[in-house]
Amino acid sequence: MRCLRLLPMILLLIGVFSPPSGAATKFTAQDRTDIRRIEAYLNNFKSLRSNFIQVSSDQYSEGVIYIERPNKLRLKYTNPSHIQVYSSGFWLTYIDKELEAIWHVPIRSTAASLFVRENIKLSGDVFLQRVNREPGVISIVLRQTENQSSGSLELIFTDNPLMLRKWNILDGDGIATSVTLLSAEFDITIPSSTFSFEETEYEYQSD
Residue 207 pLDDT: 56
**Predicted TM-score of the model (pTM):** 0.83
Each residue's pLDDT tens digit, 50-72: 999 999 877 899 999 999 999 99
Q: Which amino acid is at 91?
A: W
Residue 17 pLDDT: 46
- How much is the CA Rg of the chain, to the nearest whole Å? 17
Report whether pLDDT(73) > 50.
yes
Q: Please, what are the domains in the chain?
A: 16-187 (2.50.20.10)
> Which residues, other chains included, contact 5 with Cβ-Cβ below 8 Å and sequence gap of 6+?
none
- Cβ atoms within 10 Å of 177's Cβ, excluding its own: 24
Each residue's pLDDT tens digit, 179-191: 999 999 999 999 9
The neighbouring-strand residues paired with 77 are 63
Report whether pLDDT(44) > 60.
yes
SS3 13: helix
Report how far apart, in Å, the C-alpha atoms of 4 and of each of 8, 14, 53, 138 are. Answer: 7, 10, 21, 33
Report whether pLDDT(9) > 90.
no
Residues 62, 77 contacting (CB under 8 angstroms):
yes
Residue 4 pLDDT: 38
Report whether pLDDT(43) > 90.
yes
Residues 182, 52 contacting (CB under 8 angstroms):
yes
Percent of the chain with pLDDT over 70: 82
Residue 205 pLDDT: 64
* pLDDT band with cut points at 50, 70 and 90 for residue 3: very low
Average the pLDDT over 115-138 and give the result: 90
φ, ψ for residue 85, nearest 5 deg: -130, 135
Report whether pLDDT(19) > 80.
no
Distance CA 86, CA 65 (A): 10
- Which of these ranges, 37-46, 71-80, 84-93, 195-204, has the smallest mean pLDDT? 195-204
Residue 11 pLDDT: 41
* CA angle 57–11–123, rounded 5-degree value: 120
